[in-house]
Structure 1
Amino acid sequence: MKTNLLLKCAVFALSIVTFSSFATVTNLNDVTTTLDIQEETVVNAVYDGHDESGYNFTVVDEDDNESTITFQEISAELLQTYDLKSESFVGKSFTVTYKTENDVNTITNLTELPQY
């Protein structure tokens, strides 16, 4: 009788260990991950000044058509290097690196081009 009870307990314990060791497998093909990767754009542009809408730069395309790009955001670090709120950089040429997210243009790098 004791052997029968001991055998039943051993089988029960072994089955608990066996069943608890099963892992749930997730098929990674069923998981959809969306990454919002923002690519940066680089343009050469002339600074037109700052107003309530942002920092305005004029860009000339390969067909000599001019357009204005307004940048709503720029880092404080870049503003320390280039004080775009002053008039001293109006008319100067820059290489502007920027990204656009949710219709907001953000300058990520700015380099003044030499004047000829």
Structure 2
Amino acid sequence: MKSLLIVLFVSISTLTAYGQDESTMNATYEGFINGTYVFTDDEGERVEFNNVANGVSAKYDLNSSKFVGRQFSITFTIDLEMDEDDEEIQVSTITNLLMPE
């Protein structure tokens, strides 16, 4: 019974870890505005990200204005989390940034 529970736990953990789909888009950085990282995509739509992965923030300091107006290729995930009111919210995280040369 104990080994069955371990196998079940590992299986669920694996499914959760691989359940995140990454997407990629091209967009221009507008700045860190009201606690979010704001970009404008190729069609002029505003896209906001809640978080930046550690490796990305080490490479690009998006809290400064240094990269405002620069074009990036953005790889990101969107996860569903529960807020303090037990409502489901989307949390978007930039997992990789590339700046065309």
Q: Decide: shared fold, TM above 0.5.
A: yes
- SS of the aligned residue for 2:45 comes to strand
Unmatched segments (≥5 aa) in structure 1? 1-32
The residue identity in structure 2 corresponding to 1:73 is: N
Cα-Cα RMSD: 1.8
Q: Number of residue pairs matched? A: 79
SS, match of residue 90 in structure 1:
coil
Tell me, in whole angstroms, the C-alpha distance in 2 between the residues paired with 1:83 and 1:56: 13
How many angstroms does 1:77 deviate by?
2.3
Identity fraction in percent:
33
Find the residue that maps to 1:45 and give its secondary structure.
strand
Match of 2:41 among 52, 59, 69: 59
TM superposition score normalised by structure 2:
0.70
Shift of 1:68: 1.1
Partner of 1:47: 29
CA distance in 1, matches of 2:54, 2:95: 11
**3-state secondary structure, aligned to 1:66:** coil
Higher relative contact order structure (alpha carbons within 8 Å, sequence separation ≥ 6): 2
Q: More strand by proportion, 1 or 2?
A: 2
Q: Which runs of 4+ in 1 moved over 3 A?
A: 33-36
